[in-house]
Amino acid sequence: MARSASPHAQPPGATGVLVFADGRVIWGEGFGHEGAAVGELCFNTAMTGYQEILTDPSYDSQVVCFTFPHIGNVGANAEDVESAGLGALGCVVRERVTPHSSFRAEDELGDWMRAHRKIGIAGVDTRALTRLVRREGAPNVVIAHDPAGQFDLEALQGQAAGWSGLAGLDLVPRVSRQKQETWGGGYWQLGKGYGRAEWKDRPHVVAIDYGSKDNIFRNLARAGAKVTVVPARTSFDEIMALGPAGVFLSNGPGDPAATGAYAVPVIRALLEADVPLFGICLGHQLLALAAGARTVKMHQGHRGANHPVKRPADGAVEITSMNHGFAVDNATLPEGVEETHASLFDGTNCGIAITGKRAFGVQYHPEASPGPQDSFYLFEKFVGMLL
């Protein structure tokens, strides 16, 4: 990982650069989209699913450092996309992206990233970069790619230093659907792709889209629900007019306290109406805020596909997929809110249930994609509440 505070130290052939707000510079080989973007640097430890990660809307305004060195080796395809044109700004990888080796590939990762305006930098010591984030916290950076290797480092540093960061930032309007949609996709099967869901005699779930991964809706359908997806700013009255048996609160990017300015009153009204609720990630955090808890910005966040979570009620451990930089402060959970899951890495809150209500949420991603499927039972639990 080469660092420099001067453009004169640019290594020969460097066409990609990561510029920190404090002036540190990391050079590499650019790929994907040409241009520059400002955001928060984070790291993800998953060994599979790079395309699903890059298209997860929860990564809006973030650059992902992949700790697994071989990114791009299975190419890219339309089936592994989790959202349309949304997700991370780009990524930093250790090895140069080589031609794919997978019968499912429809495109090379670099070409796919170029088409989806995501910037990549290869040839970086991602182990050292990950240690930096763990030590100092998630920094503000600019990621840039220019095939000619022409970079104005002073301007890029100014852009990184001038960015507000994720704290206090509501990013949901950038990634939420703008129109109501009836979800029709089914579960994926190798060689068959995604099937179509059947809606006859199924309980109706209204899913509020704060920046959701599509696999969540597929799992709701797989568990036996009919799903209608609505924009993040849909009102309580508009939701109730759809006649929901239950309401799902999706994942999404940004600071939950900022999004809570308009989301929390709706969720509180749903709680008062005794509508069954299930929240994932940002949706979990918003449910906690509605119940009277607070959220905090984490030092480095949790992002990966091997995070152990313990259920205090029975001592069982689930291996989960995670992606969050904010967390519910478990010290602020009020009376009547039970902690149902906790991280075995650092003890942070990973699940709540509200006493006397059919309402619960988890900080992790039971829909996986990528990751283990230990927690699919949560979708069955929610749909079972509606029958």
pLDDT in tens, 71-101: 999 999 999 999 987 899 999 999 999 999 9
Do the Cβ atoms of 374 and 362 come closer than 8 Å? no
pLDDT digits (tens, 9 = 90+) for 234-292: 999 999 999 999 999 999 999 999 999 999 999 999 999 999 999 999 999 999 999 99
261, burial (CB in 10 Å: exposed 0-12, middle 13-18, buried 19+): exposed
The correct CATH number of 7-162 out of 3.20.20.70, 3.50.30.20, 3.30.750.24, 3.40.50.300 is: 3.50.30.20
Q: How many CA atoms lie within 13 A of 46 on its CB side?
A: 25
pLDDT band at 2 (very low <50, low <70, confident <90, very high): very low
In angstroms, how far is CA 231 from the centroid of its own chain? 17
Catalytic machinery residues: 281, 365, 367
**pLDDT over 70 (residue 109):** yes
**Count of beta carbons in the 10 Å neighbourhood of residue 45:** 16
Question: Which residues, 6+ apart, have CB-to-CB distance to 12 below 8 Å?
Answer: none
pLDDT digits (tens, 9 = 90+) for 126-167: 999 999 999 999 999 999 999 999 999 999 999 999 999 999
191, burial (CB in 10 Å: exposed 0-12, middle 13-18, buried 19+): exposed
**pLDDT over 80 (residue 6):** no
Separation of alpha carbons 133 and 136, rounded Å: 5
Strand partners, 188: 194
| Percent of the chain's residues with pLDDT above 70 | 98
Do the Cβ atoms of 72 and 98 come closer than 8 Å? yes
Mean pLDDT of 317-321: 98
> Domain 172-386 is in which class?
alpha beta
**pLDDT over 60 (residue 311):** yes
What tokens appear for 37 in the block?
């973007």
Sign of CA dihedral 276, 281, 283, 284: positive
pLDDT score at 73: 95
Mean pLDDT of the chain: 95
pLDDT score at 1: 45
Domain map of the chain by residue range? 7-162, 172-386
Separation of alpha carbons 121 and 333, rounded Å: 41
Task: Give the DSSP H/E element, type plus range, for residue 301.
Answer: strand 295-310
pLDDT band at 186 (very low <50, low <70, confident <90, very high): confident
pLDDT digits (tens, 9 = 90+) for 327-358: 999 999 999 999 999 999 999 999 999 999 99
pLDDT band at 4 (very low <50, low <70, confident <90, very high): very low
pLDDT score at 237: 98
Strand partners, 328: 295
The percent helix, strand, coil of the chain (3-state, each to 5) is 25, 30, 45
pLDDT score at 125: 97
Residues in the chain: 387
**pLDDT over 90 (residue 9):** no
